[in-house]
């Protein structure tokens, strides 16, 4: 994230655009691994670019890259209900970035507390959204879908509320793990970028607080 000097707008724009394009390409290529308990949930490598954009180019950079990622998924399609799965992904990514932002700010620069914040934020937000989706908003679509998904891995559940709560719990576990899958590699690349491009150290620090927008 940003150091004390303002990053040139051209560098910021080029960097965010490049990472946004990489996120779109990774999403379309489906560079992902299924979550064993619910294989329709996948650990998505494209999120690494969203987090990396946040770390290097700040909250607005992360937001722009995340929206590009979401748009690529919308255009590519394939969700059970058009737009819903893609929007769930966007909420998951943004809640991760929000947790990183708050954790880093409240700890005055600790990226590890940012990681803790990301886990807490994403898990809580996505658990709430999942329960609302399965039990309140679209139960006729997602409860049968969830039941079939669980049966494929040998789990049988009786009762709509029990099913919704189990899907919410498993989704929470998935999202907590996904934070590490997304953030740890992004942190590693972030450090490598600073080592490989020392000229940008004046704009980006290894112990970030807040990014001043270009």
DSSP secondary structure string for all residues of 6-57: PPPHHHHHHHHHHHHHHHHHHHHTT-EEEETTEEEEEEETHHHHHHHHHHHH
pLDDT at 210: 42
* CATH code of 103's domain: 1.10.1760.20
Cα–Cα dist 184/51, whole Å: 9
Cα–Cα dist 103/163, whole Å: 33
Query: Based on the structure, what is the number of domains in the chain?
Result: 1
Per-residue pLDDT of the chain (214 residues; tens, 9 = 90+): 544 467 888 889 999 999 999 999 998 888 899 999 998 899 999 999 999 999 999 899 999 999 999 999 998 876 667 788 899 999 999 999 999 999 988 988 788 899 999 999 999 999 999 999 999 999 999 899 889 989 888 888 888 999 999 999 999 999 999 999 999 999 999 989 888 887 777 777 544 444 444 4
State the residue range of the domain holding 50: 9-121+181-200
pLDDT at 7: 82
Tell whether 146 is covered by a domain. Answer: no
Q: pTM, whole model, 2 decimals?
A: 0.88
pLDDT at 22: 95
Evaluate whether 150 touches 214 at the Cβ level (below 8 Å). Answer: no
Give the helix/strand (H/E) hosting 61: helix 46-76
Tell whether 25 is covered by a domain. Answer: yes
The DSSP code sequence of 187-201 is HHHHHHHHHH-GGGT
Q: How many beta carbons lie within 10 A of that of residue 63, not counting itself?
A: 18
Q: What are the C-alpha distances in Å from 31 to residues 2, 46, 108, 191?
A: 29, 7, 34, 23
Tell whether 18 is covered by a domain. Answer: yes
Tell whether 67 is covered by a domain. Answer: yes
Residues 135-177 have pLDDT tens digits of: 999 999 989 988 998 988 888 888 899 999 999 999 999 999 9
Tell whether 191 is covered by a domain. Answer: yes
pLDDT at 5: 64
Q: Dihedrals φ, ψ of 38, to 5°?
A: -140, 85
Tell whether 193 is covered by a domain. Answer: yes
Six-digit token string for 40 = 């329709």
Q: What are the C-alpha distances in Å from 23 to residues 5, 73, 176, 203?
A: 27, 10, 21, 23
pLDDT at 77: 73
Tell whether 162 is covered by a domain. Answer: no
Tell whether 140 is covered by a domain. Answer: no
């Amino acid at each position: 994230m940003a150091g004390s000097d303002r990053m040139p707008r051209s560098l910021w724009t080029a960097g965010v655009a490049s990472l946004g394009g990489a996120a779109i390409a990774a999403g379309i290529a489906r560079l992902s691994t299924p979550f064993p308990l619910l294989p329709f949930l996948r650990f998505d490598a494209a999120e690494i670019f969203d987090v990396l954009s946040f770390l290097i180019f700040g909250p607005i950079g992360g937001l722009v890259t995340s929206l590009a990622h979401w748009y690529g998924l919308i255009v590519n399609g394939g969700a059970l209900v058009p737009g819903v799965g893609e929007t769930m992904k966007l909420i998951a990514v943004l809640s991760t970035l929000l947790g990183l932002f708050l954790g880093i700010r409240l700890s005055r620069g600790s990226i590890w507390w940012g990681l803790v914040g990301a886990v807490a934020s994403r898990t809580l937000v996505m658990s709430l959204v999942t329960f609302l989706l399965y039990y309140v908003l679209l139960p006729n679509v997602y409860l049968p879908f969830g039941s079939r998904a669980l049966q494929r891995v040998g789990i049988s559940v009786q009762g709509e509320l029990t099913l919704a709560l189990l899907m919410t719990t498993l989704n929470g576990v998935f999202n907590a793990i996904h934070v590490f899958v997304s953030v740890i590699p992004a942190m590693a690349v972030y450090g490598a970028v600073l080592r490989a491009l020392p000229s940008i150290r004046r704009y980006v620090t290894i112990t970030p607080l807040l990014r001043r927008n270009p």
